[in-house]
Amino acid sequence: MPTMLPSVPKSLGRLSDVFRSAMAAASGSRNTLNLKSVDSAVVILVDGLGSANLRSASGHARFLSAALSASPSISTVFPTTTAAALTSLATGVLPAEHGIVGYRVFDRDRNQAQNLLSGWTSFEESHGWRVGDTLSESAEASGLAVHFVGLGAYERSGFTNIIMPDAEYHAADSVADRFNTAARLVRDKGHIVYLYVPELDQLAHAKGTDAFEWLTQLEELDALVRDFAGRVGNRVGVLLTADHGVVDVPKSSHIELGSFDLAGLSFAGGDTRCAFLYFESTSKTECSQQLLNEEIGDSCWVVTPAELIEAGWMPKPNQIAAARLPDLYVLAKKRVAIYHKAFSSYRSYAMVGHHGSITPEELSVPLLRLAAWS
């Protein structure tokens, strides 16, 4: 019996619209999000701050929560993972088009397993993995200077080469320094700044979203954004969004795929709430799908790419993206995390916060319109 997937939620916008619309507004053009023309723009990406996460901690982020109440949320991409989502932000297209289809994948054309986010040894190594151009590569034609403000460790990373190879990078290791740098860059007309804040996601994975450390970091971010929005002036537009939400999962709710007889399994990747399973043959895929539906179908959707396409969760992929899609997805629908002892890292078993699936908690992200766009 086919798995019944939930309906794709209706949304007033998509993450892939955000940077493209901000660029258009900064160059005086009409745009999908109907942002008014501004002299310069800043897009703040807070990794892991889903709309549900922000609502549940509203007492620790009064400024951001007030802005969330005034701004409809948008949908991130499927799967709800950083590599896919940030590449969609940076290109304006979906993962099935740009080819960065998940976190850990197996590329059949290259016969290679690859961590698409952090598995690069150099800036140049990731060249050719993304399909098509990024928005930063087309900015010059619009008369804009694009800036990436982030941690120093990411300046020459392979993933930075995937999302913003032509942006001018500004390294700033504290969150406060990143906001100060962005404020300086938008003093003049014709600049668009991408400001990346990974700290909340890092703390959510390690401690969970109820942890003192996570809430303290959120309080600091709230104060910094409030100050920043107030000092950039009324000719600078500011958007704050996220790549996905986070779901905290107790260790007692781990699903170990290695305990099942998945004959012909050649690689398991993806995320802890969106496992990617690759098999040696179609018959092995079908047998494993039936087995997993029987064993864990109450807590997970076990589906093929074709089923996700038919249900509207992703478009038909191009040839390069198709070569990286799994034979089966195992998507968490309850508060569970999914592992395979032969392929999951030992460290990942200690994580508290997880993401990757298609639940509202992971899909819905803020789009806060601040400063000139408030």
Shared-domain flag, residues 158 and 278: no
Q: Does residue 2 surpass a pLDDT of 90?
A: no
**pLDDT of res. 284:** 97
Is residue 120 included in any domain, yes or no?
A: yes
pLDDT tens-digit map of 108-144: 999 999 999 999 999 999 999 999 999 999 888 889 9
Average pLDDT (352-373) is 98
Q: Does residue 12 surpass a pLDDT of 80?
A: no
**pLDDT of res. 343:** 98
**Average per-residue pLDDT for the chain:** 97
Shared-domain flag, residues 156 and 33: yes
In this structure, are residues 332 and 273 in contact, taking their beta carbons and an 8 Å threshold?
yes
Shared-domain flag, residues 288 and 271: yes
Is residue 6 included in any domain, yes or no?
A: no
Shared-domain flag, residues 164 and 20: yes
Is residue 10 included in any domain, yes or no?
A: no
Q: Give the largest CA-CA distance in the chain.
A: 61
Q: How confident is the model at residue 3 (pLDDT cuts 50, 70, 90)?
A: confident
**pLDDT of res. 140:** 80
**pLDDT of res. 10:** 84
Shared-domain flag, residues 124 and 244: yes
Average pLDDT (51-71) is 98
Q: Does residue 342 surpass a pLDDT of 70?
A: yes
Shared-domain flag, residues 191 and 285: no
pLDDT tens-digit map of 229-286: 999 989 999 999 999 999 999 999 999 999 999 999 999 999 999 999 999 999 999 9
Of 7-21, 294-308, 341-355, the range with the lowest mean pLDDT is 7-21
Domain that holds residue 336: 251-351
Alpha-carbon span 204 to 218, nearest angstrom: 11
Is residue 9 included in any domain, yes or no?
A: no
Average pLDDT (193-205) is 98
Length of the chain: 374
Average pLDDT (16-32) is 97
**pLDDT of res. 208:** 98
Specify the CATH number for the domain of residue 96. 3.40.720.10
Shared-domain flag, residues 279 and 155: no
Specify the CATH number for the domain of residue 282. 3.30.1360.180
